[in-house]
A and B are shown apart, each in its own frame.
Chain A
Amino acid sequence: MALVETRPVNRIKQNLWDKSYIPEIVRGLAITTRHFFRNMNPDKSQRSTFTREYPEVPTVYPERYRGLHRLMLRADGQVRCVACMCCSTICPADCIHIEAAEHDDPAIEKYPRVFVIDELRCIVCGLCVEACPCDAIRMDGGVHIPPYTERGAAFFDRDLLMERGGLSLAVQGGESK
């Protein structure tokens, strides 16, 4: 016959008054009531609620929050992107579609004729931003990806992404001038 190891447990003896739970119920109600009156305080800074009044009061995201993409611009307002496909190659969700074309200016040479991001498919990993060799794509606008009622509205094309873009501090082409 196998031996079973046992471990004795020290039980706290409860008397009849404890077993009725009346003192614990009263204690719990006291805590709840205290919080209720504290959050009714006319001075809002004294309250202890964490509720955000979204969307009346916008949420402030931390500085490194990754949100909606944007395409940065050159000094003359053209898109910085040179259609190198690094972002679409590294994208684990395969949500970036780029079609490259020949630019009229031989110094620029290549630009994205089509640049579409499927924001619903995007998993907001930020690898596209890290892969970009010319600071053309960013996710730092502090705006999260909005909800959509229509599938087609989630496809953000080049011009829409450029509208949200801005100038970059980096020198295009990386040459110091």
Chain B
Amino acid sequence: MPKVTVNGTEIEVDKGTTILRAAAEAGFEVPHFCYHPALSIPANCRMCLVEVEGAWKLQPACYSQVTDGMVINTKSERVVKAQKAVLEFILVNHPVDCPICDQAGECKLQDYYVAYDSQESRLRAEKVHKVKVFPIGPEVLYDGERCILCTRCVRFCEEITATNELTIVQRGDRAEIRAFPGRELDNKYSVCTADICPVGALTARDFRFKCRVWLLNSTDSVCTGCSNGCNIHLEHFRNEIQRYRPRFNPAVNDYWMCDAGRLTYKEVHTDRLLHPTNNGAELNWHAVCETVADKLKRAIDEVGSDKIALVLSPQASCEDLHLARKFASDVIKTSRFYMGGKRDGDSDDFLIKADKNPNRRGIEAVFGSTTAALPFSQLVDDIEAGTVQVVYMMDQYMPVDAATAARFVERLDKLKLFVFQAQHQGALAQKAHIALPVCSHAESEGTFVNFEGIAQGFERAFAAHGESLPHWQIFMRLAQAMGKPFSYTFIQQIRKEMFAPRPDSVASGTAEGVPVE
């Protein structure tokens, strides 16, 4: 293994390591624009030039591989001079409109200018004017003046999505990024180009001008758009999610996520159920729990536990489902489960999965088998047949076609009791005898198990909307009201129990016993 010296620090690195990586391992930052760890290396921005002893010219650190005994200096006078020159060159035609630019605050050009240049402009001539606010795709806008032509976006479309929409047109100071004639940047991952853009040239239409990035708080979370479970930075300001940004996880989503997933945050803030209601009248939690307990007890006496159905939601976290299972087996004493959740959607061979529920594998892990829950269409038939007279439903999603869903909503009138525990208002909330408001994944913590069986924890970002509570807390309150309290105080206790091997469980997927990240 080659030994190299970076700024006097000697380290041993793998063969084929680039100088930039070796310097990073030694603890020195080499500034760079065009280099991205997931993309090919064009070495066109020249920001990463470093001095290598014995070489006449400065070497691009992102491209040059280390050799044994190499002596590298990333901070010498020549390097500093080159960095200043490169930044001055990039800024010649840059509009420096940071107050207007959405990237300000997370802009590499801004950061590097402060860290490596910070000299006044010597340019007195008028800057070259290029295209502004150009709709390069349905989700992305392009600003030619701010673009530093690092070609990260071009390489993303060539190498990651393999859709090849973008290229550089014109030459010299008139060069711009454009889509090929008759095409636009409309692949399913197009907003990733705005993420990897080191400056504010590509901006996401959805996030544009919505919030300054320095005001955002970031919470580590998981996208709920599909069963892939892309890791995200859930970025929020004043109790409202402003955007999702992919979080690096080589086992799941690398640096990327899809455009559709990014927009799923909107669901969190629309049509939320805010207060527990009993036949449409708002109640407080204490009163509503007493009412539910009373009604459930009466239903158990009248129709028997086996006619009570619990609709499980693959949108809920493992902790929620674990308590749902416990509530059903210990308190109601029923084992009649049905599978809720969203309907299947589109898929591709990269990140988007057809199963639009983040935690279907979680149900398998918690309930021990895939056949624990009956299909939803069966529930409609069972209500019609009278074998189900009480429905306790988690979340409003129905994995059936519109006709069956309408039939289900119609049949709800036949039920003795319909308890609806969900995030959103709608036809089901109106029909419900009892409607209980539930938090979204942004307002509670928990675990999702993705389609590969990787259990991933997500954190609570902000306070719950209205009086909503997480599913597991509602089950705790109901169990308490029914006189069979669960002995949990913290969600960690549920987590410990949930992933511990159970004597009654059949050997189930890889999620069993997988440590929470």
**Residues on A close to B: CB < 8 A?**
82-86, 89, 100-102, 106-107, 109-110, 133-134, 173-176
Contact = CB atoms under 8 A, between A and B. Distances in A.
Contacts of B85: none
A107 B129 CA distance: 10
A83 B215 contact: no
A153 B344 CA distance: 52
Given A82-B100, A109-B100, A173-B97, A89 B132 contact: no
B212 A85 contact: yes
A17 B233 CA distance: 88
A173 B75 CA distance: 35
Given A82-B99, A84-B212, A134-B99, 17 more contacts: A83-B209, A84-B98, A84-B104, A85-B215, A89-B212, A101-B209, A102-B133, A102-B209, A106-B133, A109-B97, A109-B132, A133-B98, A133-B99, A173-B95, A174-B96, A175-B127, A176-B124
Nearest to A107: B132
Contacts of A107: 132
Nearest to B129: A107
A110 B101 CA distance: 9
B214 interface: yes
Nearest to A100: B209
Nearest to B126: A175
Contacts of B208: 102
29 contacts: A82-B99, A82-B100, A84-B98, A84-B99, A84-B100, A84-B104, A84-B212, A85-B212, A85-B215, A86-B99, A89-B212, A89-B214, A89-B215, A100-B209, A100-B210, A101-B209, A102-B133, A102-B208, A106-B132, A106-B133, A107-B132, A109-B100, A109-B133, A110-B100, A133-B98, A133-B99, A173-B95, A173-B97, A175-B127
A174 B100 CA distance: 13
Interface of B: 95-100, 104, 124, 126-127, 132-133, 208-210, 212, 214-215
Contacts of B133: 102, 106, 109
Nearest to B124: A176
Nearest to A173: B97
A176 B125 CA distance: 9
Nearest to B96: A174
B95 to A, nearest CB: 8
Contacts of B212: 84-85, 89
B140 to A, nearest CB: 14
A138 B208 CA distance: 27
B139 to A, nearest CB: 15
In order of increasing CB-CB distance, the 10 nearest A-B pairs are: A84-B99, A100-B209, A106-B132, A106-B133, A85-B212, A110-B100, A133-B99, A82-B100, A109-B100, A82-B99
Interface centre among A83, A89, A110 (most CB of B within 10 A): A110
A43 B102 CA distance: 65
Contacts of B100: 82, 84, 109-110
A176 B96 CA distance: 14
Interface centre among B126, B212, B214 (most CB of A within 10 A): B212
Interface centre among B98, B126, B209 (most CB of A within 10 A): B209
A174 B97 CA distance: 9
A91 to B, nearest CB: 12
Contacts of A84: 98-100, 104, 212
Contacts of A100: 209-210
A86 to B, nearest CB: 7
Contacts of B104: 84
Contacts of B95: 173
A133 B96 CA distance: 12
Nearest to B212: A85
A110 B214 CA distance: 18
Nearest to A102: B209
A174 to B, nearest CB: 8
Contacts of A134: 99
B86 to A, nearest CB: 23
A160 B86 CA distance: 46
Contacts of B132: 106-107, 109
Contacts of B126: 175
Contacts of A109: 97, 100, 132-133
B430 to A, nearest CB: 33
A101 B100 CA distance: 11
A88 to B, nearest CB: 9
Nearest to B132: A106
Nearest to B127: A175
A174 B212 CA distance: 21
A100 B95 CA distance: 20
A102 B98 CA distance: 16
Contacts of B209: 83, 100-102, 110
Contacts of A174: 96
A106 B95 CA distance: 13
A58 B266 CA distance: 53
Nearest to B95: A173
A122 B80 CA distance: 45
B238 to A, nearest CB: 11
Contacts of B96: 174
Nearest to B141: A102
Contacts of A102: 133, 208-209
Nearest to A112: B209
A102 to B, nearest CB: 6
A134 B99 CA distance: 9
A110 B209 CA distance: 8
Contacts of A101: 209
Nearest to A132: B99
A102 B210 CA distance: 10
A83 B126 CA distance: 25
